[in-house]
Amino acid sequence: MQRLLITLLLLSFLTALSAQTPMLINNLEKSWEQQARWEERNDVDGRFKLLAPAALTHNIDTVETGIGQQAYHTFFLQAPDKDEAENIIYAISYVDYPEGTLHHDSLELVNEFLTGTEEEAAKAVGGEVIYSSDKQISGFPARQWRIDYPSKGGTASARTLAGVANNRYYELKVFSLQASGLNKSADRFFDSVRLFSN
């Protein structure tokens, strides 16, 4: 009887321990993004706001294009440890097109522009478009896609949400070192963006 009682006590102790073990493992396996305190970036000049897992750095490049020089604004962050992050880079960029060249009211032109941008992005990285769909960002026309492409460790992913508000082109990008289906941190980044009119 005493042996049965000890066995039952030991069994219930081990059951309780094993029930807690997955919780301990899950806490240790949380990604950098899940542990981060996400920050809101409200950029008046960029006419956008969004959430990111850390502060974004602003960079301006002047790019020569077929329609003249363009100031290309990029806000980005790189994960501090690629091995503990779902995504290694988060970025939002925007560029203003000259009046009359691109405007969100020209839906056919915007759709053609966004589809062409998606195709060029896949070509640029030698990747394959895994999914794409039309979207809206704050009521403005947009498109979202994911491209998987070869990298040193196998297959990486670039997720993009691009849109046009007035004559400004916006592009949100998230890069991850592993191709995967769901990406909650990328979704949180994309879902948080709000665009403002002039």
CATH number at residue 53: 3.40.1000.10
Q: Do 42 and 23 share a domain, yes or no?
A: no
Q: Classify residue 38 by its DSSP letter.
A: -
Q: Do 25 and 5 share a domain, yes or no?
A: yes
Q: pLDDT at residue 15 above 70?
A: no
- Give start and end residues of each alpha helix (H) in the chain: 2-28, 32-35, 107-125, 184-192
**pLDDT computed for residue 103 by the predictor:** 78
Asked if residue 115 lies in contact with residue 164, where contact means CB atoms within 8 angstroms, the answer is no
If one counts the domains in the chain, the total is: 2
* The model's pTM: 0.81
Q: Which two tokens stand for residue 117?
A: 């941008």
Q: Do 52 and 145 share a domain, yes or no?
A: yes
Rg (CA), the chain: 23
Q: pLDDT at residue 12 above 90?
A: no
Q: Which two tokens stand for residue 72?
A: 């290309």
**pLDDT computed for residue 114 by the predictor:** 95
Q: Do 11 and 107 share a domain, yes or no?
A: no
3-class secondary structure per residue, 98-126: CCCCCCCCCHHHHHHHHHHHHHHHHHHHC
Mean pLDDT on 48-72: 93
Q: At residue 67, what are phi and psi to the nearest 5 degrees?
A: -115, 20
Q: Do 148 and 112 share a domain, yes or no?
A: yes
Mean pLDDT on 21-34: 55
Mean pLDDT on 130-153: 94
Q: Do 45 and 2 share a domain, yes or no?
A: no
Q: Do 57 and 22 share a domain, yes or no?
A: no
